[in-house]
Amino acid sequence: MRRIIGCFALFAAGVGVGVFLMQPGRAQTNQVSGLRLNHVGIYVKDFDESMRFYTQIMGFREAFTIKDASGKPTLAYLQITQDTFLELAPASAERPVGLSHIGIWPEDQNATVAALRQRGVQVNDPRIGSTKTSITNVIDPNGVRLELVDFLPGSLPRKAMEEWKK
């Protein structure tokens, strides 16, 4: 019994020292708060084949597709979870196959834009995109575009999230 109490005391002391040394609350004090991953956008070589793969093979739900005046798809949102999507867009000479962007959903888009600007990041003023969301972009040091999105009432992604699994 004495040995068990000694082991427990040693374990508790180790946890206490670990918490003090690690200070987990300090690990993310420099983080812009309220950011969530919402979607990943990719340019695809064959839009129809990619739609079949992601809907029929992977089982993602087509949330919505936006088409141009001639009826050709310009982008589609495929819903993975209630608030996580995969965005597909046709590749072209200007938009090679691969990663288009990463969609980040800030809790407060204006506060996030202000915080990033305060840190010296170039951020354009938000604008309304084709999905009726407020969007702006940040380019990371690798050239990857981070799309900051705010899902306004009536936006296509917000409607998809509200209708999820009804």
The vertex-94 CA angle with 96 and 50, nearest 5°, equals 40
Distance CA(150)–CA(157), nearest Å, equals 10
Given a contact cutoff of 8 angstroms between Cβ atoms, the answer to whether 105 and 149 are in contact is: yes
For the domain 35-163, what is the CATH superfamily, name and number?
Answer: 2,3-Dihydroxybiphenyl 1,2-Dioxygenase, domain 1 (3.10.180.10)
Tokens of 79: 């819903």
Write the pLDDT tens digit of every residue in 11-29.
444 444 344 434 444 445 5
pLDDT for residue 10 is more than 80: no
Given a contact cutoff of 8 angstroms between Cβ atoms, the answer to whether 156 and 132 are in contact is: yes
Predicted pLDDT at 78: 98
Write the pLDDT tens digit of every residue in 117-162.
999 999 999 999 999 999 999 999 999 999 999 999 999 999 999 9
Report the percent of the chain where pLDDT is more than 70: 81
Given a contact cutoff of 8 angstroms between Cβ atoms, the answer to whether 98 and 40 are in contact is: no
